[in-house]
Amino acid sequence: MELRPPIVIASGVGGMGEYLKLIDPRYIGAYTLKTITFKPRLGNPPPRLIATERYLINSIGLENIGVEKFIEELENGLYEELFRKVKVIFSFAGEDFEEYLKVAEKMAPYQDRFVAFECNFSCPNVHFNPLSDTNQLKKMLIELRKKLDVFLIAKLGIEGAFIEQVARLVEECGWNGVTVINTIRALHINGETLIKGGISGPVLKPIALRAVYEVRNRTNLYIIASGGIMNETDAQDFFKVGANAVSIGTALYRDPEIVERIAKKFL
């Protein structure tokens, strides 16, 4: 996969294409859509977002319209403008192993529209953690690879197993890339209210950097770095440890122009 510039809009943060209103598409290498699951999901009850200087905690819980409705929208041309302007990455997940396969089956006829499929194995806001059972995960990686011909990316987190070991498995099963990392389970206390969710933003950077470093040392996979990339220096650091592209998430909420600034440096 060749992304010029090597900059990706992170899944979830970029919604279903909304940031195209704010960012010149020339500066976007690829736009990842919000994760789509087999069944529609309402997501978690509020509070869903806590923002501080150093981090954001979100408890969205994969709210999405479900794959059938997404396909309906796709067929009705809702994403044509997006496809015309940028390369698009389809992100998907399931509430169990079977559901991952069912989404892949449903989306296989449409795979040519996308530059890649990103399989989200690491959402911290749902009960199912595919990374905690690597035997099952391996079976699923093999089955998903059989069902899809597209450039296939596994989105990995650091909870479940050592990320470099999972990445090796991903490579052995014939996948093309990994997104490293996702948010990590965290807790914020606001008076008497406990807010559980996935943490993102600046505090994630050193953890993500180490994860990219480890994965690069053990695999030849295409690596999209994700976690705390807030400026050009952060992006540079991830390229230094072997990332092929950088993903911009939380930084979009602060200043969408970050994408243009990073792009101009790495075009």
Ligand X SMILES: Cc1cc2nc3c(=O)[nH]c(=O)nc-3n(C[C@H](O)[C@H](O)[C@H](O)COP(=O)(O)O)c2cc1C
- Please report how close the Cβ of residue 183 comes to ligand X at its closest, in angstroms: 5
- Residues 198-237 touching ligand X, rule: CB under 6 A, are 200-201, 204, 226-229
Residue 59: φ, ψ to 5°: -130, 50
Can you tell me the distance from the alpha carbon of 123 to that of 194, in angstroms, rounded to the nearest whole number? 19
At residue 195, the 3 state secondary structure works out as strand
Phi-psi group of 43: left, alpha or beta (phi > 0 → left; psi -120 to 50 → alpha; rest → beta): left
CB 58 within 8 Å of CB 125? yes
Verify binding: residue 249, ligand X, rule CB under 6 A.
Answer: yes
First to last CA, the chain: 15
* Residue indicated by tokens 């059989």: 146
* Shortest spacing between CB 9 and ligand X, in angstroms: 9
Q: Name residues contacting ligand X, limited to 26-55 (CB under 6 A).
A: 34-35
CA 60 remoteness from chain centre = 14
**E strands present in 7-139:** 7-9, 30-32, 49-51, 56-58, 88-92, 116-120
Examine residue 94 and tell whether it contacts ligand X (CB under 6 A). Answer: no
Q: Smaller CB distance to ligand X: residue 183 or 219? A: 183
Q: Does 182 bind ligand X (CB under 6 A)?
A: yes
**59 touches ligand X (CB under 6 A):** no
Residues that are catalytic: 123
- Minimum CB separation of residue 156 from ligand X in Å reads 10
Of 200 and 244, CB closest to ligand X: 200
Of the two residues 170 and 251, which places its CB atom closer to ligand X in the complex? 251
Where does this chain touch ligand X (CB under 6 A) — which range of 18-26, 56-64, 75-83, 101-109? Answer: 56-64
Minimum CB distance to ligand X smaller for 135 or for 236: 236
Nearest-CB residue for ligand X: 12
Which of 7, 62, 144, 235 lies at the binding interface for ligand X (CB under 6 A)? 62
Q: Give Cα separations from 104 to 25, 31, 48, 94 (angstroms).
A: 28, 19, 28, 10
Which residues of this protein are in contact with ligand X, per CB under 6 A? 10-13, 34-35, 56, 58, 60, 62, 91, 120, 123, 155, 182-183, 200-201, 204, 226-229, 248-251
